[in-house]
Amino acid sequence: MQVGIAEIMEHSNGFAFWIDPSCRFAQHVEEFTTLESLCCSSLSFQVETDPIHDGPVLKIGGPDDVKPFLISHFGIRGHSG
């Protein structure tokens, strides 16, 4: 599992990452989405809170073929894409 990622949930057009609120990334997730969206304009980024999970939830999605890219780019294990 990635450092700071508490859980990964697969969605139809991407993934949601529940961020551990005690990690440093949780404090910078919005900055990350801003910078990533500049270089990856075909991806959609959304940061929200979830009443079930403590900490931010980062949702990354895009066109139909985005899952294999996200799996390799972010090193997601256990998902086929």
21 has pLDDT over 60: yes
Q: What is the pLDDT of residue 2?
A: 57
In the chain, the N- to C-terminal Cα span, in Å, equals 17
Statement: the pTM of the whole predicted model exceeds 0.85: no
- Residues linked to residue 47 through DSSP beta bridges, in sequence order: 58
Instruction: Determine the 3-state secondary structure of 17 from DSSP.
Output: strand
Give me the torsion for CA of 28, 23, 16, 35, rounded to 10°: 20
pLDDT higher than 80, residue 68: yes
**Cβ proximity of 79 and 71 under 8 Å:** yes
- Domain coordinates in residue numbering, the chain: 5-74
pLDDT at 73 over 90: no
